[in-house]
């Protein structure tokens, strides 16, 4: 998971107020219930020492969402009197939370977003095709995903598209002409898929539609795209196709996580570019050596690290930070500290699904060197 979008969030001096709020409206008094939930969270933040200016900034965002019915779930982080990041969602967060701490509590957001990547859905027939490009928004403004971009590819229908059924003496010639026509149209779709995939960085291509046209498109795709292309017999539209898309996306997410986990195990086995355990991972993050951070998903009893005002100032003990010249080390969640340090040095994050409740944070890292 690319963490670049989080960088602007850490420009504040803290403390940070973190809010995960359910704004669902399923009953007549849902708006009032959502407002009461926010009031409870506001009181919780105030009891934890959140500055009043941060609470007012968050309240303005919540009030806007309640008034305009903009979302079903809201995640927001505030510091220095401003809301530094807002994510509006079409479903409530997994768990409502309100927390004031030296660092923003971002792990639940990242776990909810999951592995996100651009992908294409291609529907092809003998006359051309339609390419739908889906690119998730992970920008610093936390805005909603942009609507999918649809590209229509019109083939050449000046030649016969369908084979003749009769016994005309010219039947074989017309059959060949029809085959060449729809193959040419499929090749046109394939070339357009190549260009769109390259432009948006698509990591998955879902190919639907006429089986023969699909085969022709596959013949024209470059070797770099074929490993990322999956055919489906589902119709190009409808609920069944949406279910199939979600299934294929979930498989791709699992594949991405598995690749990182396998690399981590391989590097750890040879004792080279990998570390495990909190102290070693914190030390690697301090040195900017973490290429990929691996974390268990939000443990119930998280371990802690010590941090300074700058992202790389991270250690397992306050004494280590004082040795670095940090006058007032602050204690915070280990995942929050590690994510800030890794985001600042352009590392990425892989969240491993939690299988059983645990008291310690499962953590490791693949290193740059």
pLDDT in tens, 271-284: 889 999 999 999 99
Closest CA to 2 of 145, 134, 117, 142: 117
310 & 208 share domain: no
Q: What is the mean pLDDT of residues 167-184?
A: 66
For the cut 70, the answer to whether the pLDDT of residue 166 exceeds it is no
Reported as a pLDDT band with limits 50, 70 and 90, residue 144 is: low
Reported as a pLDDT band with limits 50, 70 and 90, residue 205 is: very high
Count of the separate structural domains present in the chain:
3
Taking CA atoms, 26 is separated from 62, 65, 74, 91, 163, in Å, by 18, 16, 16, 12, 54
Higher pLDDT pick, 129 / 355: 129
pLDDT of residue 18: 97
Question: Strand, coil or helix: what is 27?
Answer: coil
**pLDDT, tens only, 291-300:** 999 998 766 6
**Is residue 237 in some structural domain?**
yes
Residue 280 has phi, psi (to 5 degrees) of -65, -40
- Determine what percent of the chain falls in helix, strand and coil, rounding each to the nearest 5: 40, 25, 35
Edge-to-edge strand ranges of the sheet holding 128-134: 149-154, 128-134, 119-125, 204-209, 229-231
235 & 327 share domain: no
158 & 241 share domain: yes
Which of 222, 255, 288 represents a domain boundary (last residue)? Answer: 255
Q: Which domain holds residue 366?
A: 273-369
46 & 6 share domain: yes
**pLDDT, tens only, 32-90:** 888 899 999 999 999 999 999 999 999 999 999 888 877 889 999 999 999 999 998 88
127 & 228 share domain: yes
For the cut 90, the answer to whether the pLDDT of residue 114 exceeds it is no
Q: Give the pTM.
A: 0.84
**Is residue 264 in some structural domain?**
no
What's the CATH code of the domain at 324? 3.30.1330
Mean pLDDT, the chain, rounded, equals 87
105 & 162 share domain: no
**Is residue 261 in some structural domain?**
no
**How many other C-beta atoms lie within 10 A of the C-beta of residue 188?**
19
Give dist(CA 264, CA 296) in Å, integer: 14
Instruction: Name the token pair of 352.
Output: 């491993």
124 & 194 share domain: yes
Could you tell me whether strands 304-307 and 314-315 are parallel, antiparallel, or unpaired per DSSP bridges? antiparallel
pLDDT of residue 263: 93
**pLDDT, tens only, 300-355:** 667 899 999 999 999 999 999 999 899 999 999 999 999 999 999 999 999 987 65
202 & 102 share domain: no
Q: What is the mean pLDDT of residues 122-140?
A: 83
What's the CATH code of the domain at 20? 3.30.960
**Is residue 266 in some structural domain?**
no
User: Does residue 15 have a cis peptide bond before it, meaning omega lies within 30 degrees of 0?
Assistant: yes
Percentage of the chain modeled with pLDDT above 70: 87
**Is residue 189 in some structural domain?**
yes
pLDDT of residue 194: 92
pLDDT of residue 169: 45
Contacts 24+ apart (CB under 8 A), 141-147: 141/85, 141/86, 142/5, 142/75, 142/85, 142/86, 142/87, 142/88, 143/88, 144/88
Taking CA atoms, 81 is separated from 87, 142, 271, in Å, by 18, 18, 46
Edge-to-edge strand ranges of the sheet holding 82-89: 82-89, 73-79, 16-22, 97-101
Reported as a pLDDT band with limits 50, 70 and 90, residue 138 is: low
Which of 74, 94, 113 represents a domain boundary (last residue)? Answer: 113
Which of 83, 113, 143 represents a domain boundary (last residue)? Answer: 113
Residue 358 · residue 299 · CB < 8 Å: yes
Edge-to-edge strand ranges of the sheet holding 330-333: 314-315, 304-307, 330-333
**Is residue 75 in some structural domain?**
yes
Reported as a pLDDT band with limits 50, 70 and 90, residue 357 is: very low
222 & 331 share domain: no
**Is residue 53 in some structural domain?**
yes
128 & 220 share domain: yes
pLDDT of residue 359: 47
């Amino acid at each position: 998971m690319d963490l670049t979008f989080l960088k602007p969030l850490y420009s504040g001096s803290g403390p940070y107020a973190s809010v995960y709020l359910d704004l669902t409206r399923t009953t007549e008094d849902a708006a009032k219930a959502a407002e009461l939930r926010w009031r409870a969270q506001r009181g919780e933040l105030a009891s934890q020492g959140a500055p009043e200016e941060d609470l007012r900034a968050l309240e303005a965002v919540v009030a806007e969402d309640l008034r305009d019915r903009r979302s079903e779930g809201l995640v927001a982080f505030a510091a220095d009197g401003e809301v530094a990041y807002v994510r509006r969602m079409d479903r409530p967060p997994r768990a409502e939370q309100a927390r004031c701490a030296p660092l923003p509590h971002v792990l639940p957001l990242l776990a909810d977003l999951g592995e996100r990547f651009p992908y294409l859905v291609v529907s092809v027939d003998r006359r051309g095709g339609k390419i739908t490009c889906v690119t998730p928004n992970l920008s610093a403004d936390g805005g909603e995903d942009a609507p999918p971009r649809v590209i229509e590819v019109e083939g050449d229908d000046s030649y016969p598209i369908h084979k003749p059924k009769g016994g005309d003496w010219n039947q074989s010639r017309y059959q060949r002409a029809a085959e060449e026509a729809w193959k040419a149209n499929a090749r046109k779709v394939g070339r357009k898929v190549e260009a769109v995939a390259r432009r948006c960085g698509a990591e998955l291509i879902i190919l639907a539609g006429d089986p023969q046209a699909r085969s022709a498109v596959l013949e024209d795709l470059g070797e770099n795209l074929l490993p990322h292309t999956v055919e489906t017999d589902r119709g190009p539209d409808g609920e069944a196709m949406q279910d199939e898309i979600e299934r294929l996306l979930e498989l791709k997410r699992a594949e991405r996580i598995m690749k990182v986990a396998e690399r981590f195990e391989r590097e750890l086995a040879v004792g080279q570019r990998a570390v495990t355990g909190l102290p070693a991972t914190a030390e690697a993050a301090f040195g900017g050596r973490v290429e990929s951070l691996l974390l268990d998903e939000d443990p119930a009893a998280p371990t802690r690290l010590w941090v300074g005002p700058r992202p790389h100032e991270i250690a397992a003990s306050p004494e280590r930070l004082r040795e670095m010249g940090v006058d007032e080390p602050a204690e915070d969640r280990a995942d929050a500290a590690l994510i800030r340090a890794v985001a600042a040095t352009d590392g990425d994050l892989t969240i491993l699904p939690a299988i059983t409740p645990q008291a310690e944070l499962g953590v490791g890292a693949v290193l740059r060197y």
